[in-house]
Chains A and B, each alone.
Chain A
Amino acid sequence: MQGDLPSHPGLLDWLAVDFMEHGWDIKRLVKQMVMSATYRQSAKTTKEKLSIDPENVYLSRGPRFRLPAEFVRDLVLSSSGLLVRTIGGPSVKPYQPKGLWEQATSGRGVLATYKQDHGDSLYRRGMYTFIKLTVPPPSMGIFDASNRDQCEVKRLKTNTPLQALIMMNDPTVLEASRVMAQKILEEKKDEDYNLTKAFRQIICRKPDDKEMSILKSYYDEELQLFNQNKLSADTTLQQGEHAQDDKPDKSSTAALMKTIEMVYNMDEAITK
């Protein structure tokens, strides 16, 4: 296996010596890197930067790459408050399209059929998702998770329509959208507050004026359709096993849920 020559050999040497001199502390090393001015640069780039340093080898801007597979799940669950932060324990079986294991296996053995978990086990971190080696979880593999056939030094970071389909239609994302909508509406604030809060919880910054107007126009349109019964709020809200909340108005909840779904699908949502 061969790698490239280092781009910053002097820096690499310095870091190596500093690492050794401080007790080979990996946590300290990671903290050192992520708190450096270089790492904390904005990812915003200019035409000039892109032409000189397209791959960001010279660290002319902050890193910007899609979250690894497990973290996409973590983001969706934690931003909506669904994440169960228990550490350790056996792997869990969250939502998965029906029939995947059954189609592929020989029919023998303990893992011939998929027995989905319920309750808290549905909302664990991505790293706890059960991996059946011959039929690895599609929501992970589609986001470039390893299928454990061999050790990987680095994962691919691809961009495919199947990923788009997951963010649009995976029950995990839909349920998180609903639950977040229900929680925000419990606070009984106004539309601007609700949209801003939802946006912040996912994108981790406030929406600017342009974005706010896009969110509002979508929300208002959906709200009208639900109020006029042109779309069914009841059907829309039936996503996921997490308890339903009947207190907030259904049309508002459904409209907010769909706006949140849209925000989850933004490129920035799953990009670091």
Chain B
Amino acid sequence: MYLVAQKIIMEKEILEKGLNMNRRRFLSRLSLGIGSVALGSLLIPDLFSKKDDEAVLTGLAQFAPKAKRIIYLFQNGAPSQLDLFDYKPLLQKMHGEDLPASIRQGQRLTGMTADQKKFPLAGTVFQFNQYGQAKAYISELLPYTAGVVDDLCIIKSLFTEAINHDPALTFFQTGAQVGNRPSMGSWLSYGLGSENKNLPAFCVLLSKGKGNGQGVYAKLWTNGFLDSIHQGVQFSSGENPVLYLNNPAGMDKADRRRMLDKLAELNEAEYKAFGDPEINAKIQQYEMAYRMQTAVPEITDMSKEPESIIKLYGPDCLVPGTFAANCLLARKLSENGVRFVQLYHQGWDGHNNLPEEIKGQCKDVDQASAALITDLKQRGLLDETLVLWGGEFGRTNYCQGLLTKDNYGRDHHPRCFTVWMAGGGVKPCVYGETDDFGYNITRNPVHVHDFHATILALMGIDHEKLTFRHLGRRYRLTDVSGQVVKEIMA
């Protein structure tokens, strides 16, 4: 039973002693940023709460947040904006003609197309229509997304410097092209803590489409130089939803509880001898692990979802490891207080055979992405949940490889691409414009740093103030730049 562990842990003197030690240590040892107190709340869940059952303190946001949680639907490999959101009839008219130098303006190309003698423009083979109040262009590949367009802020003018996947992904996730910086989810976990003390603050869900894939890497959800409690916890579709979560065969919950109770007695004896506050922190970690063992399977259990929800997301949502299943799981995690849920869906890297591959990719994600928005809205959660959708860069308007009437490939294009945002205080609209060639931005460019600054602002954080001192200087997600795009904030 809980009694033994409760007695030990909840005993006021110990907790207060631990609190005093740790609070002072945190505030003096860690950065000057607000995150230090939130860190304390993660390691000692009851640091601020009055009773055990209350949610862990969060907030310390610098101004009133609009969003409290984020779900990031990352489309890994770079979906082609020209076939999905950025309608360029000029390309169809000029299909096969060479990309004018005046448009290219010396943009560097990847090693894959740099040696091509010609850069034949490739008009999309897909039908575009306008939808919703903003009269947004969306291609026939995303009918469900078109259905929720009035909730979307579609930004057509994202740009980045990175031209290949690894640096570009790293840039999107950590704010720098070099590795080992904390990822977005880690920064938010550090800055805002968790709303639910039984679940990690930052969860990662992976899925793969059949299109050309580019892998994802642990450094995209790493805690970098922040405490490893802020690391993204990868959920898997296998037996163990979280690594090492399940008790070994032959051991049930009651059994585990018995062991933890006795273990707490042993650790408490150790604490009496050594006086090291880390021992108490460790007792807390074991209790959190125990709570996760219950909380996580409850969340990943889809059997209690109503039929209407299953229909909304599509039948794939019951197949673990698919994008649709991950979207449904993301909603459940988010609604239970997980601060940042990061999804990755591989397969968008359409260098060859794009029209065929992109159909499959869109089938994988369209219904579930739209369903997530609808689902959150129905639950009254959309206003406080920021949903993001997009890849790491765009794709070229010229064809990579052989161009035919209805088949083409597109290479990487960092200079302009489309992402969309929904919920969490975002104003539904279409923001930013590109030229008729779909190559350059003509209005309202949004750099990755600006994107990050805006996301943090929506979460109530000044991106210049959420910092961590490391190796002699202060680091932050937006590194040394970034402007909040106020026009898209409702």
Contact = CB atoms under 8 A, between A and B. Distances in A.
B269 A211 contact: yes
B217 A218 contact: no
B278 A266 contact: no
A239 B218 CA distance: 28
Contact of B218 (A54, A136, A174, A262): A136
Q: What interface size band does chain B fall in?
A: 35 or more
B402 interface: no
Given A164-B288, A169-B245, A231-B250, A2 B270 contact: no
Interface string B206-241: 101000011111110010010111010100111110
A156 B227 contact: yes
Given A144-B228, A236-B249, A236-B250, A43 B262 contact: no
B238 A97 contact: yes
A261 B259 contact: yes
Contacts of B265: 214
A1 B248 CA distance: 45
B218 A142 contact: no
A138 B267 contact: no
Interface string A85-104: 00000000000011110011
B249 A165 contact: no
B286 A164 contact: yes
Given A159-B285, A266-B266, A150 B29 contact: no
A223 to B, nearest CB: 13
Nearest to A96: B243
Interface in A31-80: 43-47, 50, 54-55, 64, 66
Contact of B262 (A50, A158, A214): A214
Contacts of B237: 99, 103
A168 interface: yes
Contact of A162 (B243, B248, B281, B472): B243
B243 A158 contact: no
A267 B270 contact: yes
Contacts of A105: 215
Contact of B289 (A164, A170, A261, A266): A164
B247 interface: yes
A161 B262 contact: no
A104 B249 CA distance: 27
B3 interface: no
Contacts of A208: 269
Contact of A99 (B43, B236, B282): B236
Contacts of A1: 471-472
A158 B227 contact: yes
A99 to B, nearest CB: 5
B134 interface: no
A192 to B, nearest CB: 17
Nearest to B262: A218
B322 to A, nearest CB: 12
A81 interface: no
Nearest to A165: B244
Interface residues of A, number: 71
Contacts of A50: 21, 275, 277
B98 interface: no
B279 interface: yes
B321 to A, nearest CB: 8
A164 B288 CA distance: 9
A261 B288 CA distance: 19
B290 to A, nearest CB: 8
A112 to B, nearest CB: 9
Nearest to A159: B281
Contacts of B233: 162
Contacts of B267: 266-267
B243 A97 contact: yes
The winner among B242, B266, B285 for most chain A CB atoms within 10 A is B266
A257 B42 CA distance: 32
B288 A161 contact: yes
Contacts of A247: none
Nearest to B472: A2
A97 B240 contact: yes
A164 to B, nearest CB: 4
A166 interface: yes
Interface in A117-168: 133-136, 138, 141-142, 144, 147, 149-150, 156, 158-166, 168
Interface in A169-195: 169-171, 174
A168 B244 contact: yes
B1 interface: no
A187 to B, nearest CB: 24
A164 B237 CA distance: 21
Interface of B: 21, 24-25, 29, 43, 178-180, 200, 206, 208, 213-219, 222, 225, 227-229, 231, 233, 236-240, 242-251, 255-256, 258-259, 262-263, 265-267, 269-270, 273-279, 281-282, 285-286, 288-289, 292-293, 321, 346, 471-472
15 contacts: A1-B471, A44-B273, A44-B275, A46-B275, A135-B217, A149-B180, A156-B228, A160-B229, A165-B244, A214-B269, A221-B258, A263-B266, A265-B286, A267-B278, A267-B279
Leading 10 A-B pairs by shortest Cβ distance: A149-B179, A235-B250, A2-B472, A134-B217, A164-B289, A149-B180, A236-B250, A106-B213, A161-B289, A161-B288
Given A133-B217, A162-B231, A261-B259, 10 more contacts: A64-B274, A64-B278, A99-B238, A134-B218, A135-B217, A159-B282, A159-B285, A160-B231, A164-B289, A265-B259
Interface of A: 1-2, 43-47, 50, 54-55, 64, 66, 97-100, 103-108, 133-136, 138, 141-142, 144, 147, 149-150, 156, 158-166, 168-171, 174, 208, 210-211, 214, 217-218, 221, 231-232, 234-236, 238-239, 258, 261-263, 265-268, 271
